[in-house]
Structures are given as structure tokens and as C-alpha cells.
Amino acid sequence: MSDGDAGYSGALPRVRFNMARYCLGVAAQAAPEKTGLIVLGGTAENPVTETWTFGELELATRRVGAALQAFCAEPDGRIFLLLGNTSAFPLAYFGAMAAGLVAVPVSSQLTAQERSALKVDARPALVVGGAVDPDCDIPHLTEEELVASARNGAPLSDYADTRADDPAFLVFTSGTTGGAKGVLHAHRSAWGRRPMYRDWYDISGADRVLHAGAFNWTFTLGTGLADPWANSATAIVNTRRRTPDMWPALIRATGATLFAAVPGLYRQILKYAPKGPLNVGQLRHGLSAGEALTERVAEEWSARTGTQLHSALGMSEISTYVSASPQRPACSGTVGQAQRGRAIAILPIDNATGDSATPLSTGEVGLLGVHRTDPGLMLGYWQRPRETAAAMRGGWFCGGDLASIDAQGFVTHHGRADDLMNAFGYRVAPQDVEEALGDVPGVTEIAVTEIEVREAVSIIAAFFVPADAGVDGRALESALSQKATMALADYKQPRAYIAVDALPRTTNGKMQRRALQAIYDHKVRN
């Protein structure tokens, strides 16, 4: 356990602090002609479609900020960003914060039903991008209008004079009780990412950071854009779908020195690349987060590329806070150590006891907590004060990860304390999927969980009970799949449908989701 009594020990931001100024303004002033963003969207031979200098990025962002401010003059007004995977997304995201507004990035993969629910929850002052909804009375700005403002609009006279604790952006993540849960972050969250610079990235202004994710993913917005820009490094983001075998060529072609992706993509790259040594050009090392990185993948990557993969553990509420780095590599079987400046502890799983805020001893498994004084920690769950309070244990915030810490401070992750599933880095609540599929005719019950189909490969699977024992199971599978396609974002959709006679439950009727893995294994073997 780290010494958590003193809380966060790193430097704190100034009282007046604007995230957009911190990430873009400083770099633009110091090196306006330096390339800040490279967008990939072309062919394998000519992958680069856009190149932006820091000066161009800052001017476009401040122009967009002024355009958004014209629609929403009130401070802290929420801007619902429903943009495609184009450079307009980061311009709107940072533009909103530059103007003192609150950016609400939303995945373009969501269905109309899912988007509508988030609008009701977020109550935005403006919707940017996406199709115009005739039944929605919220003002709407098209992506074309946004791009036009970035090119020709009048810029903000200056960044909004926000406080470090003022709201900056609101992201939605699935909650443990079903339904999307808003996580509200302050401008200081960008400053709170500083411990990652040395203890995960080992980043400098000379780096070129290639992120495999889309613009609308918070992993990309943070690791792929905010952190490189805050260090005057070049950010490289892909806007087109790429097959796993193409990534090594993109790493070489762009001169990337750092590459960030979920562990599943590293596994796919290794699988589909030609056997033998893998040329990754100038890459110094890879960054892995969003899922557990297996030793097998890390070892094969190292053997074939001559570079290391450094993993990190985090959550939407604070981003990564435990990690490995070139200077502090992880011990076998661990994620790494708490990033310097952060205070972490292992707390009892049972919150009913009087000592639930007293850290456990070295080596014991419990809830991983981070000190609530950490500047990277969220302001709270949007409109859910009880859930915010429930996640606090004295001076600690617990996000639901089970872990242990050894005498050297290395953290071993033991999974989640709840039923949340992990689909390529997205946190998905099984209740969300079950609710969407619950009214398919011919199905009496359905339970959804994450199952391991082979080593290091997990999928979302739906187990259903047919209403009639003689019904065609394949027909029900087809009906469930069709409903999932209509009602759920692609990453939330089950990849397997398994018919069962009954769902496993406890004596008091509670679903035993973990027992579903055994049912799947039995059916596969037989």
C-alpha cells in the first residue's frame, strides 16, 4: 500500500485553469509551426489526409469555441457532440472547453434510442453533428457548419477564465445497475494526467503518438490528443477502419515513436502479421490500456518487434493511475505501480463494516482505491449524488476494481467487483443489453455476460430460455441478433447466443452470472 494519509503529493494546478489552454494554447505559443496533428484516412501508400500545426489547431479551436458560445452564452452549458470520426470532433471538444462550456462526447455508434436517452439525461444546450431530430427542440449545429466556423469564423478573444474545479467535460459509461452513467470531469483533470507523462508514456516533445482508437473515445481524446499536445508532441489518429495487419505499416509510415491501443489489437496485429520479426520503424514502445494485457501477448510483442508494451490500469472516473513505464517496468503478473504523486490503497470489499475505509495489509485482495485529493478524479457522477457518495470510503474513491499490492508497490489486478463487461475497452452493463433484448417473442428469460472463449479472448454472450421446448433455437438466435442490431451499438451486441433450459440463480432468485461461463464451456465440449 502507498502512503495515502497525505493524499496526492504532486503539484496542483493554479486556481484559474482552462484545459484547452493547457493542452493547446501553450504549445501553440511556443511552437506555432510545429505539426500538432496528423490524420490518417487515405490509402496504405498515402495514409495522411490532414496535417495541422499547433498554431492552426489553436486558431480553429478558438473559432469553434466562439461559434458554440454564440448558441450557449451561459457558463457550464453542455454541448452534445455527436460527430463522426473526423477532425471536427477534437475541434468541437476542445473548442467547447476553450469557451468555458462543457463538452459531452458521444459515440456515433449509438442507436437513436440510446442517443435520445443520453440527451434527456445530459440536458444539453446544443447538439453538434448527427442527423437533425425533428422531435427534438434542442438547437442543432451540423458538422458542415462547425467546419465552416473553424475555417472562417471569428475566434474567441481569449480562453474562458475558468477555475480548475469548473466542469469541463461529461462522459457516459455504463453503470453497475444498468443504464448509462455520466462522469463529470473538471478542467483540472488535464493537469491530473501529468503523472502519466513519466510513469506510463515517458513522453517528450520529440515524440509522435499514434493512437488506434476513434476520436469519440475518451481513451483517444486523452492519451491520443490531450497528453501529446500538453507535451508539444505530435498526435496521429486514424479515421478509417484498418485491418490488424496494416498497423505496423502505419507505424513505420508515420514515424510513430509511441503507439496506444487495447490489448486485443496487439494480439490481432501479432496474429495477422507475417511470421517472424515485425518491423515497427522508430517505435520506442507501445501503450496498452482498456483491458488486461496478458504476459503471452507482451512477450511475443517484445520478441518480434524488439520493443516493450507498457500496461496501465484506470477508469473513466480518473483515467489511468497505475502503470508501467520504461524506467519502472512491471513485475511479472502485475500491472505496474501507482504513478508517482498518486496515493492508492486496498480497502475491504464489504462496505458495511466500521473499518471499511481502513486499508488492508500488504498482499490482501480488496477494492482498489485512489485518494480523493487526486486532481484527476472526477467531480462526481452526473445527477447521482448517492452513487458518488457510495463510491467514497473516507479519503478514498473506489471504482470497483479488485486488486492487491505487494511490498514493492506492484499492483496485481483481480478483476471487477461488479458484473460490468469489457468489450474492446468499452465498459458495458449486462442490464443494458438484457433490457434491449427482453421483449423478443419466444424468449422467456435472457442473461448477458462476458465469457472467455479462448485464452485472452472474451466476448459478450447472451443466454436465453425459449418459451417452448420444441421451438427452433436458431430462429430465436436470429431474432435476438436482429433486435440487437437495431437497438444496440455494435460494441454492445452479443457475439454468441446460447439456448439453455434455465438460468442459474441463487436460492433467493439472484442471477449467478459467473456460472454462465461453465454452461458455455460444457456446451462447447459437448
Q: What is the pLDDT of residue 1?
A: 47
- R_g of the chain, CA atoms, integer Å: 23
Cell of 311: 500496461
For CA atoms 127, 71, 132, 212, the dihedral sign is: negative
Q: 37 φ, ψ to 5°?
A: -145, 130
Q: What is the pLDDT of residue 487?
A: 92
Phi-psi region of 333 (alpha: psi -120 to 50; beta: other; left: phi over 0): left
pLDDT digit string, tens, across residues 179-218:
679 999 999 999 999 999 999 999 999 999 999 988 878 8
Cα 403 to chain centroid distance, Å, stands at 20
Q: What is the pLDDT of residue 174?
A: 60
Angle, helices 143-152/54-71, rounded to nearest 10 degrees: 120
Bridge partner residues of 422 (DSSP): 427
Name the pTM for this structure.
0.85
Per DSSP (E only), the strands in 279-430 are 285-288, 308-315, 319-323, 336-338, 344-347, 366-371, 380-381, 392-393, 396-405, 410-416, 421-423, 426-428
| Count of positions (residues) in the chain | 526
Q: What is the pLDDT of residue 4?
A: 45
Compute the distance between CA of residue 67 and CA of residue 284 in angstroms, rounded to an integer: 40
| Separate counts of helices (H) and strands (E) for the chain | 17, 26
Q: Which amino acid is located at 75 in the chain? A: P
pLDDT digit string, tens, across residues 219-247:
999 999 999 999 999 999 999 888 889 99
Compute the distance between CA of residue 274 and CA of residue 299 in angstroms, rounded to an integer: 17
Torsion of CA 33, 37, 40, 46, to 10 degrees: 20
Output the 3-class SS for 146-198: HHHHHHHCCCCCCCCCCECCCEEEEEEEECCCCCEEEEEEECHHHHCCHHHHH
Phi-psi region of 281 (alpha: psi -120 to 50; beta: other; left: phi over 0): left
Residue 152's CB is within 10 A of a number of other CB atoms, namely: 8
Compute the distance between CA of residue 57 and CA of residue 64 in angstroms, rounded to an integer: 11
Kindly report the CA angle at 496 between 493 and 500, in degrees rounded to 5?
Answer: 120
Q: What is the pLDDT of residue 5?
A: 58
Point out the residues of the chain with pLDDT beneath 70.
1-5, 174-179, 352-354, 506-510, 525-526
Compute the distance between CA of residue 264 and CA of residue 47 in angstroms, rounded to an integer: 23
Compute the distance between CA of residue 392 and CA of residue 25 in angstroms, rounded to an integer: 35
Q: What is the pLDDT of residue 177?
A: 40
Q: What is the pLDDT of residue 108?
A: 79
Could you tell me which of 201, 198, 417, 189 has the C-alpha nearest to residue 289? 201
